Amino acid sequence: MILVIRFIGVLNAAIWLGASVFFLYAARATFFSEAVKATGVHPFWPGVFAQLLIGKLFALHVICGAVALAHMLAEWVYLGRPLQRLMMMMLGLMFLSGLMAQLVLFPKMKEMHLTKYSMSAAYKPVQIPTEARVEAMNSFGRWHGIVMGVSVVFVGVLVFYFWRVTHPPDNLRFVGSSKFRS
């Protein structure tokens, strides 16, 4: 059982960290690269495709955050490892921020992106006043900057979490029989 719990924890941390790094440094940059611009597609469409991927990434943050919290609780229950307050707070905060991003921030940014390019939710052109488009563009830029900053911090926390999962402390509640001598 110990090996299964550790394997699940390491696999979850690896998937979570790998997906976050891949999106932040590879996928996101690809959508807005010179190669994509050279294809002649309207600047609206790379943003749409990036948003589709971001939606999946936010869902992954929620799932991996829930698995990470469950993993810490399983270590506490089955292995007797004490809960680390800092790690539980970090994982809880990451889980809640992923949930908030998926349920609140992502729909709001999608709406701002559509307004910026005068598009409807069905990706059809609509008439939107210039003032609303400018406001959406400015607001989208601010929120995008905040999200990118938080994403970099997320990756740092995930590196710390990955390190913690792959190098667990040896402070179990129970002492093994090899510690006793006759």
pTM: 0.83
Q: Which pLDDT score, from 0 to 100, does residue 32 have?
A: 87
**Integer Rg of the chain from CA:** 21
Backbone angles phi, psi at 115, to 5 degrees: -65, -40
14-49 per-residue burial string, b: 16 or more CB within 10 A, e: under 16: eebbebbeebbeeebeeeeeeebeeeeeeeeebbbe
Q: If you average pLDDT over residues 59-70, what whole number do you get?
A: 95
Amino acid at 130: T
- What is the token pair recorded at 144? 């995008």
Domain boundaries of the chain, sorted by first residue: 2-169
Q: Which pLDDT score, from 0 to 100, does residue 179 have?
A: 53
pLDDT of 95 higher than 60: yes
Percentage of the residues of the chain whose pLDDT score is greater than 90: 63
Q: Which helix (H) or strand (E) holds 40?
A: none
Q: Which pLDDT score, from 0 to 100, does residue 139 have?
A: 94
Looking at 40-105, list the stretches that DSSP marks H as alpha helix, in order from N- to C-terminal side.
44-74, 85-100
Helices (H) and strands (E) in the chain, counts: 7, 0
- What is the token pair recorded at 110? 């999608």
Which of 116, 105, 115 is closest to 143 using CA atoms?
105
- What is the token pair recorded at 70? 């469950």
Give pLDDT tens digits for 122-171: 989 999 999 999 999 999 999 999 988 999 999 999 999 999 999 887 65
